[in-house]
Amino acid sequence: MKHLFAVAFALATARSAVPPNTTAIPVVIELFTSEGCSSCPPADKLLSALDKEQPIAGAHLIVLSEHVDYWNTLGWADPYSSHEFSERQQKYGNALGVADIYTPQAVIDGRLEVVGNSSAKMGAAVEAALREKKVPLRLQANRTEAGIHVELQAPEGMRRGEQIYLAVAEDEVTSKVSAGENSGHLLAHTAVVRSFTKVGKFTGYGNFTADLKTSARWGKNLRVVALVADHDGGKIVGAAMTEL
């Protein structure tokens, strides 16, 4: 499987390969998925491969798995789902002119949407995202007794009013599905978003701090992702990720 993903992405992005020894450009892939959707497991596997293999030259792929809740009434309630992610997906749908949101849907940098289980379409979208200018961010995160302390530094280049978000995501998540379209399957997920917080708007200062709460229900394999968007549900103009 690893070889197939690598080949598919090499073919899809050969024209835009960035020369080695250059700074990788962060590209955010948000996968809207559900354990109640039979088309989603291949997309989940693809997302995991992108995260682990980082197959596209010049790109630092920052992945997030956002489980929606509109499949929950069809036989299986996804334990990682949240209506918040359904709403976020709908905002993207409105901004990108998608009449009906669906799963698995991947949104790349808030700029493009593709079917989440298509490596070729994903590669083309990442290729397009690499041509967009990004604001470099520096992100640090540390565990505390109360949760996670986050420090974010943004140099000049951000505009007043841009939105700042912090996501906490969990890796190595598995689930044994006992009903619905994926009944009987053991599903594995990468970067499952556990919390998604809008810190606020950029006001002209480049240093930000925040303290995020965690839950005892979460595992230990966590990562923190910082996103800067031009507006709520808009294009992502800066991103950074750190593991805890």
- Identify the CATH number of the domain in which residue 25 sits: 2.60.40.2060
| pLDDT tens digits for range 118-134 | 999 999 999 999 999 88
pTM above 0.75, yes or no: yes
Tokens of residue 44, six digits: 């989940």
7 DSSP assignment: H
Tell me the pLDDT band of 156, cut-offs 50, 70 and 90.
low
| pLDDT tens digits for range 173-198 | 999 999 999 999 999 999 999 999 99
Q: Are the C-beta atoms of 226 and 240 separated by less than 8 Å? A: yes
Q: Are the C-beta atoms of 57 and 13 separated by less than 8 Å? A: yes
Provide the domain limits for residue 79.
2-243
Q: Which residues contact 30 (CB under 8 A, 6 or more apart)?
A: 63, 64, 66, 88, 92, 106, 107, 108, 110
- Dihedral pair phi/psi, residue 33, rounded to 5°: -140, 175
Count of domains forming the chain: 1
Instruction: State the Cα–Cα distance between residues 220 and 130, nearest whole angstrom.
Output: 32
Residue 99 has pLDDT above 50, yes or no: yes
Helix (H, G, I), strand (E, B) or coil at 106: strand
Chain centroid, CA 171 distance in Å: 12
